Structure 1
Amino acid sequence: MTLIMLTLALLLIGLVASTSASIEYAEWHFQNPWFHSRRHFIYLVIGIGAAVASYCVKPQFWFSTGWWWLLGALALLILVLIPGVGRVVNGAQRWLPLGPFTLQPSEFAKLAVVVYLAGYMVRREHEVRNQWQGFLKPMAVLVATTLLLMLEPDFGATVIISATAFGMLFLAGVRVGHFMVVVLLALAALSVLIISEPYRVKRLTAYTDPWADPFGTGFQLVQSLIAFGRGEWFGVGLGNSVQKLFYLPEAHTDFVFSIWAEETGFIGAIAVIGLFVALIGRILWVGRRAFVNENPFGAYICYGVALIFSGQAFVNMGASSGLLPTKGLTLPFVSYGGTSLVVCCVMLGLVVRIDRDARLVPQRRRSV
């Protein structure tokens, strides 16, 4: 119940925040101020339905079909790169058009990688903990996934999936020496990827001093910081944001937290951060209890979901507040974005099912 209540609170905040942040944008581009809010509500209904469906499915099904989910995700990542199939927005080819809606394969890949790795680490526990090949096999899968993501390009999803995979393998008990060698190689590869694209270097340098070029590379961060400053303690009131009036690009997606902070102030921003901390802490607690109840697959699923939620929340809020370089990542359950919202709900449904099964274990033992 705690997981559900925390998630519902974030979903309601997301509906309010994305609606407020998108009204003027939707009015200007679609001549309908409620265009994005209606679509967000539809995504919300679909997401809740998907969460209920994932809750009703036994974890054993996910365990036995992990490979198929991974292959499906890789197929979608390849499909989106085919010219004429994937939709290009702002120079990135990340979306598959499905009639009036779009599908973002990178979001589906996050779920697929978590499910696959959780099953792999249970089946190959001895190899993962004691042998190089047990560690290198999932790394090969990770390399294939990240290469496809970088071809879109989607650097943010690459970082989140890589960090989640490394975190899950570390929690599974891989040898520290093996882990450190591969992590250092991965960091070196990420550094090369950053340096290879001038726009990434500009983003990295701009966040250190956005005011040096406030109308160029530092524009987004400067406008975001202005939103935080205007919010002060209690905000300017819901719907009264000035920065959403075409000052702050992507106000309803990547920078929805900035608009929320402007309209609800420091108190509102801290409330959202507190909800994420409580939700992620609860998911980790469920994972720990699943491990104690001899359900390592459920535990690894929980750890992977917690890593994805915490990573995306930290990067999104960190980028909007100037703590991290500007990066396009949605805030789970809050930002506008159908695929992200639905996948997050599916992940949460999985965790709730694992929590429910863990609660039944002591009852079964007492009945015996």
Structure 2
Amino acid sequence: MTQRQWFKLHGWISLPIWIVFCFVCITGTIAVVSHELTWLTNDNARAHNPNDLPAKPMAELVASLKAYDNTAQPSTIISFESYLTTGIVFSSDKVPFGVAYINQYTGEVQEINQGSTFINFMRSLHSWLLFPWQNSYSVGYYLVSAMSFVMLGALITGLVIYKRFWKALISPKIRTQQNKKTLLADLHKHTGVWSMWFLLVMSITGLWYFTQQILWHADYEITPHARLVAQSDLPMSQSAQANISLADAISIASATFENFKPTYILLPEHNRDTYKVKGSGDSIFFDNTSYQVLVNPWNGDIEQLTQPSNMGALQTIQHVMDPLHFGYIGGLWTKFIWFAFGVLLSGMSITGFMIWGSRIRQNVKEKGKPPSIVNPIEGV
């Protein structure tokens, strides 16, 4: 292909879906720091700990919730960063569905949220644009993950048409004293060059999400289905209470893995269900639910065990992609790095559109003259 053809391809890859692409970039950038924004904007979500107390066991937090509302039926316990409260999803006579924000250091119930949390809203808006889910798929999820093809195509074509791109790394030069078109071109090309690694990471993770959606749509199980308690383990009496408490289940899971930190716990919903204790371990490249222990509530047996060493290839990829995509692989510092480059990527999509739009306006002024394919990345 000629240089003109490459430039045309670069422009037309991005232009037709610019609004969707830019929206996905902006919402993704906000989603990266949604936990931190929640901390900034909602005092009840902050885990205040002025006396430097140790975190209470999760079973005690559940007890605090039941003391607050004696009809509460907890279903899920979610542990976030140390500076955010622990969330317990529950229902009760007063609250059909709610999330209790409980300070893990004091045991205080600081808020009952009966709507969507900001964290969930931003992740949902970014991941599937709030399109409805049906039959294991969402059109929005397909649309968002398909942006990875656009991103990868823009990266490849941009590198082809911008000769000697490494100069922007070695000796960056933004020509602020020249015209607007030159300034936009310099900003666009320098942002693209410095964000190459980030574009590649977003493209690869986005391609995985697209593949994952296809597998979900086809009812392919990436994660093995959770085992049920054997019928023979159930007591004869229908009114019998489980022998294993939540504290026991967490203790069993913690003893199974070294450096295990429970972060996501699902309580049994029926008599053949198990405690599903998920968390993080000593593998920093995996997400915080990569280690999972299914504990039998009747006898304490481990029904199922999941860890990076016994995962299949697709399951491994699934648990590695989220930390890479949302930038929490290295904690707060990598989140801020991902946020900064997310801002740059959002800005690059805007400057690219402005460059292309200025060329369209220029050719309209020239009485419908066909657009000349001058490479704006060269700033002329």
Q: How does the TM-score come out when normalised to structure 1?
A: 0.27
Structure number with higher relative contact order (C-alpha < 8 Å, ≥ 6 residues apart):
1
Judging by fraction of residues, say which structure has more strand: 2
Larger radius of gyration: 2
